[in-house]
Amino acid sequence: MKIILFQPEIPQNTGNIARTCSVTQAGLMLVRPFSFSLSSRFVKRAGLDYWDDVKVEEIEDLEEYLQTTTHPFYFFSSKVEKSYTDVKYEEDSLLIFGNETSGLPSTFIERWPDRFVTIPMKKKGRCLNLSNSVAIAIYEVLRQQK
């Protein structure tokens, strides 16, 4: 399983996600640009010493990457109705999350509408914190894989 963060903006979230990836053995892919340096003290502090246990990749173009991958992939968004629990995830699934302020570009939902899922929340509520959303998704995949 691999977590993909599309142009993340808050270093503390990315650090927390790296920590979750470490303890669950998930990979982490970051799509450029992101608004901080991976050497930022905020990223390192949030990820503590877990960074050494995470395979981190950086890419420039998510759409191009997804066109060539053989792995099943799913986008997480607050703007769709299909629940994340309605999907049967495979062990090598890619879980894709948008950035903290603008989410994912509409071009992805236009191209792959059947690959979008949501974590249920109250109507008209703001979104969950990104690192919390990633943790919920990772543990659903792990639950399904037992």
pTM: 0.93
Q: What is the 3-state secondary structure (H, E, C) of the chain?
A: CEEEEECCCCHHHHHHHHHHHHHHCCEEEEECCCCCCCCCHHHHHHHHHHHHHCCEEEECCHHHHHHHCCCCEEEECCCCCCEHHHCCCCCCCEEEECECCCECCHHHHHHCHHHEEECCCCCCCCCCCHHHHHHHHHHHHHHHHC
Hey, what CATH topology would domain 2-145 get?
A: Alpha/beta knot (3.40.1280)
> Which pLDDT score, from 0 to 100, does residue 53 have?
85
Q: What is the mean pLDDT of the chain?
A: 91
At a CB cut-off of 8 Å and minimum separation 6, what does 102 contact? none
Mean pLDDT for 75-85 is 95
The confidence score (pLDDT) of residue 18 equals 92
pLDDT for 39-64, tens place per residue?
A: 766 666 655 677 778 899 999 999 99
The whole-number pLDDT of residue 46 equals 59
Question: So where are the chain's domains?
Answer: 2-145
